[in-house]
Each structure stands twice: as structure tokens, then as C-alpha cells.
Amino acid sequence: MRWAERLRNLSAVQEVFLLWSASFAAIVVSFLLLPKGGAKIVATVSFLYLPLWAMRRRGEDYPDYGVTLRHWKKDLKLFALACAVGAPLYLGAYVAYPALLSFLPHAWSELLSPYPAHFSFHFRLPDRFDEWVVDQLFVVALPEEFFYRGYLQTRLRDAWPRGPMFLGARLGPAFFVTAVLFALGHLAIFQVWRLAVFFPALVFAWMRERTGTILGSALFHAACNLYELILAASFFGRV
């Protein structure tokens, strides 16, 4: 059997893990071999276009995987709610986490956080903040949300039980496995502390299930990244 035929006969779960592995490998190789910023471009292209070969053979397109504005009002409401609840919680964790790491050996604290244990707060926006907004929304959040919550989560959800209802969304195995894959995917640039993205990934995945689109999760994803940049600039003077 030819490779093309084998690819066509993959199950949904096999397809998901093949695409995830291909994207992960591409990002690792580009991170090791390309100039700074090259891995980001490769990641964006991989997330947007790797699923296309499977989508096209089934006659599907991006709206079939949540890239649509059909529930934009609900998406915006959930986005506002997530920001209102998440911002103060994250701020508290952001302040407490470096202090907790100060009790660990220095090598451990460097491994688990990009920031020092000591900080002072002086509010400021990162340099070129308007460019960061465009970057985080269109280069980072939208491609990642399409790939993980739009495509991978949908394919796994179709293959596995839907799970129990929680706050208006059914959360089955696909919900958790997609969050794990999202976190592991962030290890492609060899920074262990990036595994912490597992926790916001649960919110992104819930929003996807709640509305049926990726608009709300993409907006919240971008907002989380921008919030992190603002906090890093304000607490540590970093962009």
C-alpha cells in the first residue's frame, strides 16, 4: 500500500497524533537550525496548513473546525467573562509563583520560571505594543487555536466519548488530551516552564466546546499572552 493510501486510511486519532508530531518536529528543527524567529514562522505555517491535506480529501474547510463568526456575540461574552475572572487570578499567581520558587535551589528556579524571585512593580507597556497585539492575535493565537482547539480537539471529540456536561460544555477525553498536547508542544523550544500553558489551555478548550467556534478562545489566548507581556514589563522590565 502506498503512503498516500495509508494516510487516507488513518483513523481520526492516528491523524491527530501524526499532525501533532509533524508540527512538533518541524518547530524543533527550525528552532535548532533557523535564525531567531524562524521557529515562530514555521509554527504558524504548520498550524494553519498541515490539517489541509486531510480536510480537502473530506471536502471540509476552515469553518468546519470553528473558524467562523457565527456565534460572535456568545464568543465576546465568554471572552469578557474569562478576562474578568482570569486576570486577577493570574495576577495573584504571577506575584506568588516567583516567591515560592525562591525556596528552591537556583538551578530549579531557573528551570521552572523565566523570571527572578525578586521584583518591583512599575506599570509600563512593552515597546511596540501595537505590533505585539497584531502578532499575538494573528501570528500566535489564531493559528494555535485553529490547530489545537479547532482541528485536533474536534477530531478527537468525534472519535471519543463526548463526556459529561460542565458549565454548558461537554468535556470528554478530547478536552484533556488536547490540553496536554498543547502543553507538550510548547517544549519544542526546550523551556520546561512553558508546560504551565496546560492550565489556560483548559479554558481555551472549554470556550471552544461552549460556543462551537474558536473566536472566543483565540481572543482570550491573545489577551493572556499580551497580559503576560504587560506584567513582565511592569514587574521585571522585560518585553
* Residue 46 CB burial class (10 angstroms; 0-12, 13-18, ≥19): buried
Q: What is d(CA 37, CA 83) in angstroms, rounded to the nearest whole number? A: 29
Question: In this structure, is residue 23 part of a structural domain?
Answer: no
Question: In this structure, is residue 25 part of a structural domain?
Answer: no
**Choice among 5-9, 18-22, 166-170 with the minimum mean pLDDT:** 5-9
Query: What is the reported pLDDT for 145?
Result: 98
* Alpha-carbon distance values, 23 to 56, 76, 178, 189, 236 (Å): 18, 30, 14, 13, 32
Most confident of 20-29, 97-106, 185-194: 20-29
Question: In this structure, is residue 47 part of a structural domain?
Answer: no
Cβ pair 195, 187 in contact under 8 A: yes
Domain of residue 145 covers 65-236
Cβ pair 205, 178 in contact under 8 A: yes
**Choice among 144-153, 160-169, 212-221 with the minimum mean pLDDT:** 160-169
Question: In this structure, is residue 188 part of a structural domain?
Answer: yes
Q: What is the pTM of this model?
A: 0.91
Q: Is the pLDDT of residue 161 over 80?
A: yes
Instruction: Calculate the average pLDDT of the chain.
Output: 89
Q: What is d(CA 113, CA 91) in angstroms, rounded to the nearest whole number? A: 15
Mean pLDDT to the nearest integer, 213-239: 91
The residue with cell 485536533 is: 152
Q: What is d(CA 19, CA 14) in angstroms, rounded to the nearest whole number? A: 9
Cβ pair 10, 18 in contact under 8 A: yes
Question: In this structure, is residue 224 part of a structural domain?
Answer: yes
Question: In this structure, is residue 174 part of a structural domain?
Answer: yes
The residue with cell 508542544 is: 185
Residue type, 77: K
Question: In this structure, is residue 69 part of a structural domain?
Answer: yes
How many structural domains does the chain have? 1
DSSP character string of 148-166:
IIIIIHHHHHHHS----EE
Question: In this structure, is residue 22 part of a structural domain?
Answer: no
| 67-116 residue pLDDT tens | 999 999 999 999 999 999 999 999 988 877 777 766 666 666 666 666 66
